[in-house]
Chain A
Amino acid sequence: MTRLYAGLAAPLLAAALLAPAPVAAQEGPGPVAAIVSQQAGAVTLVDVRAARRLAEIKTPRVPAALAATPDGRTLYVTHPDLGLVSRIDVAARRVETSFPVGKEPFGIAVIEDGRALLVSDWSADALIRLDAATGRETARAAIGRSPASLVVEPRSGRAYVADRESNQISVVDIPTMRRVAVVPTGKAPFALALSPDGGELYVANVQSNDLSIVETATTREVARIRIGLMPYGVAVSADGATVAVTNQQSGKVALLDRATRKVIGKARTGDYPEGAAITTDGRLVVANWADDSLCLIVLSEPPSCRERVPVATGPRNITILAP
């Protein structure tokens, strides 16, 4: 009986055994990734565990970056070319409203439990703080040239912004909206990620093919690691052990062991990979910009795409929604 059942359910069982999460957790819906596709003007929602598309939400033209509220119910998307930020009701699968923000809003983060937003302005060289309900600007900090991605460390109340054309990170104190430090990095820093404990910031330097590691306590670059051609996206696993970096010009993702700071694996993901994200159950999601697909990698397995999921044209950035 058991044998027969195992035979019939072999593929399913094999998948369950290979997954790092407990079997009980496999039964409910898995973590949901939201992927912004710039050319299509859409956000695709994907159940990462099931490798299944859940929805495609149309947005105004050329969306670039996105951020989710802590409850996962609301997404905010920037449109640099339109000078807009859109708010998406995730459950309703639609854009609620779009409001004008600065000149070219690019990177975005949600703060204060979803009541406020931080947005980098690519052409105004500023970090802008907004009221999330109204879109009204409440403060701004002058930072470096062409600021791209930003991340927030809630315990210290600091935002870290990649000033791409200034080859530096700006560190901004959020309560006062003042820049408190500048950290020189490699050439053309673009994507950022923080370790779960907030102690280290990982900076993908597009033009110098390396990854800067910044110690947040001292705001100093403590290491710069050769990581591969055109690092364009970076993500850290929930246990802090692994840092994933996409290498756009090689069509690969590199996996870095955080403790030893060595590259421990590489996988081919597809053509022109950009954004990356890692779910709490250890699944790496990479957006292939030119393939219009996601590559799904299970970090506990040898690195390769276990599944590919088609998404809307020109996928760039990814965020994981809280369940």
Chain B
Amino acid sequence: MLQRLALAFGLLLLGPLLATAHGPTPQRADETLAIAAPPDAVWKLVSGFGTIGDWHPLVQKVAVTGGEAAGAERVLTLAKGEITEGLDEVDTGAKRLSYRLLKENPEALPVSFYTATIEVKPAGDGSEVAWSARFYRADTTNEPPEDRNDEAAVAAMTDFIKQGLEGLKAKAAGK
């Protein structure tokens, strides 16, 4: 996984990228974390689409509409602004949840679009949580500024996911 990210960074440094609209080159972030709590307990936290603010340290406020079913939307207030996400699919059997960005805000998170999936799997006495995202940089024109290029997008998404997983771990441990 770290190798993947390193490779992604390495490739990005090789030359300027040219893209428009969503651009043809998607980026990825992919993190997993072991959590010493039963999968059911962790899934209960993850599947609460409107309660991510209870455990994600970067989410200051959540306003959810449509409950916890596919089609629900949530507005996340981050340090530098709001983004809106839509819930695509909840697979309770597989403990897997998929969502996407509906309204971008490059000030808050420097990406133009993403889809993401969180999956909770049993691992030993506890759980393993895998959180992945497929996304495009914020500025999809030919010469994006440094804070809106592919590297900035990968760094921001990776940080959002890592901090989320750590927050989930802390919440599951009852802290």
Binding site for B on A (CB under 8 A): 38-41, 61-62, 64, 80-83, 103-104, 106, 122-123, 145-146, 148, 164-165, 229-230, 248-251, 271-272, 289-290, 313-314
A-B contact pairs, 21 of them (CB 8 A): A39-B11, A64-B24, A80-B19, A80-B24, A81-B17, A104-B19, A104-B20, A106-B24, A123-B19, A123-B20, A146-B20, A164-B21, A165-B21, A229-B88, A229-B89, A230-B88, A248-B115, A250-B89, A272-B115, A290-B28, A290-B134
Q: How far is the CA of A313 from the CA of B5 in the complex (A)?
A: 11
Closest to B134 in A: A272
Contacts of A81 in B (CB 8 A): 17-19, 24-25
Q: How far is the CB of A158 from chain B (nearest CB, A)?
A: 24
| Contacts A38-B26, A250-B89, A272-B132 known; 16 new A-B pairs at CB < 8 A | A39-B8, A40-B7, A41-B11, A61-B15, A62-B11, A81-B24, A81-B25, A103-B18, A122-B24, A145-B21, A164-B21, A230-B115, A271-B117, A271-B132, A272-B134, A290-B28
Contacts of B117 in A (CB 8 A): 249, 251, 271
Assuming the A-B contacts A62-B25, A146-B20, A290-B134, are A250 and B98 also in contact, with contact meaning beta carbons closer than 8 angstroms in the complex? yes
Q: When the two chains form their complex, are residues A122 and B30 in contact, meaning their CB atoms are under 8 A apart? A: no
Closest to B17 in A: A81
Q: How far is the CA of A290 from the CA of B19 in the complex (A)?
A: 21
Contacts of A145 in B (CB 8 A): 21
Contacts of A314 in B (CB 8 A): 28
Contact of A39 (CB < 8 Å), options: B7, B18, B115: B7
Contacts of B19 in A (CB 8 A): 80-81, 104, 122-123
Q: How far is the CA of A62 from the CA of B27 in the complex (A)?
A: 11
Q: Is B121 an interface residue (CB 8 A)?
A: no
Q: When the two chains form their complex, are residues B11 and A61 in contact, meaning their CB atoms are under 8 A apart? A: yes
Assuming the A-B contacts A249-B98, A271-B132, A290-B30, are A122 and B21 also in contact, with contact meaning beta carbons closer than 8 angstroms in the complex? yes
Q: How many residues of B contact A (CB 8 A)?
A: 25
Contacts of B18 in A (CB 8 A): 80-83, 103-104, 123
Q: How far is the CB of B31 from chain A (nearest CB, A)?
A: 12
Q: Is B14 an interface residue (CB 8 A)?
A: yes
Q: How far is the CB of B163 from chain A (nearest CB, A)?
A: 21
Contacts of B88 in A (CB 8 A): 229-230, 249-250
Q: How far is the CB of B129 from chain A (nearest CB, A)?
A: 14
For the complex of A and B, list the 8 residue pairs with the smallest distance between their C-beta atoms, beginning with the closest: A80-B24, A123-B20, A146-B21, A81-B17, A249-B98, A64-B24, A249-B88, A229-B88
Q: When the two chains form their complex, are residues A313 and B7 in contact, meaning their CB atoms are under 8 A apart? A: yes
A-contact bits for B91-129, CB 8 A (1 contact / 0 none): 000000010100000000000000101000000000000
Closest to A165 in B: B21
Contacts of B25 in A (CB 8 A): 38, 62, 64, 80-81
Q: How far is the CB of A149 from chain B (nearest CB, A)?
A: 11
Q: Is B44 an interface residue (CB 8 A)?
A: no
Q: How far is the CA of A249 from the CA of B20 in the complex (A)?
A: 22
Q: When the two chains form their complex, are residues B24 and A290 in contact, meaning their CB atoms are under 8 A apart? A: no
Closest to A164 in B: B21
Q: Is B171 an interface residue (CB 8 A)?
A: no
Q: When the two chains form their complex, are residues A313 and B4 in contact, meaning their CB atoms are under 8 A apart? A: yes
Q: When the two chains form their complex, are residues A61 and B134 in contact, meaning their CB atoms are under 8 A apart? A: no
Q: How far is the CA of A106 from the CA of B22 in the complex (A)?
A: 13
Contacts of B132 in A (CB 8 A): 271-272, 290
Q: How far is the CA of A38 from the CA of B136 in the complex (A)?
A: 14
Q: How far is the CB of B147 from chain A (nearest CB, A)?
A: 20
